[in-house]
Amino acid sequence: MGDVVPARVMVELKSVTKEYQLASGPLLVLDDVSLTVSAGEILALKGVSGSGKSTLLHLLGAIDRPSSGSVRVDGHDLSDLTAREQASFRAQSVGFVFQFFNLMPTLTVAENVATGLEPLRWKRRAREEMVRSALASVALSDQANKYPAQLSGGQQQRAAIARAIAKHPPVILADEPTGALDSANGEAVVALFRELNAAGTTVAVITHDAGIAASLPRRVELRDGRVVADR
């Protein structure tokens, strides 16, 4: 038998600490967190409110910087990027999905999806094709010219996912993506993430839903800013 080729590391945190300076004093949100995620994994990030999950996701998405330690995603060291370099990384390497969709009400579904491509400066024809492809992948082609208010909650979240995946990022970061949905729509959204993962995308999902977490192959639990379980 040939040698087994190890999976490429997509996410690596080493001894990461995040502290905020408040008027009342320092607030430690992440405390010596180390975590490795291979390319093509899908995992749930669990924990009660205030455990550090969203802060961890913000570090992975270069929305924030660690106070100490190192964060590497898709070969990029995110610890010391300039603001411009952070924006470039977010534009190219990460797709974000949020609980409350964050769709612009005055734009059509297709126009909302296209906003995720604007920083990449693609030619118009290429952007239009990427938008069509993304909407087709989430079964929203027939809703392209509607406005968010004309869609159901499940459709709005699928539109938000289309916006996140239109640029084909290697990593999807989802922060409570089913929190505003009923159980049927929530399960449909998680099924979409599984499909994306099966196609090779690395997916990290913050969830309070024990059923959704249990349905994913890896579950990382945080408590008081520390990883207390990884199974």
- In the chain the domains, ranked by start, together with CATH numbers, are 42-65+82-230 (3.40.50.300)
Q: How far apart (Å, rounded) are the C-alpha atoms in residues 31 and 16?
A: 7
Query: β-strand 171-175 against 202-206: which pairing, if any?
Result: parallel
Q: How far apart (Å, rounded) are the C-alpha atoms in residues 171 and 39?
A: 9
Residue of 152, 159, 149 lying closest to 98 (CA atoms): 159
Q: How far apart (Å, rounded) are the C-alpha atoms in residues 198 and 19?
A: 36
CB 104 within 8 A of CB 115: yes
For 123, counting Cβ atoms within 10 Å of its Cβ (0-12 exposed, 13-18 middle, 19+ buried), the class is: exposed
The per-residue pLDDT string of the chain (231 residues; one tens digit each, 9 = 90 and over) reads 455 556 799 999 999 999 999 999 899 999 999 999 999 999 999 999 889 999 999 999 999 999 999 999 999 999 878 889 998 999 889 999 988 889 999 999 999 999 988 877 778 888 899 999 999 999 999 999 999 999 999 999 999 999 999 999 999 999 999 888 888 888 899 999 999 999 999 999 999 888 899 999 999 999 999 999 999
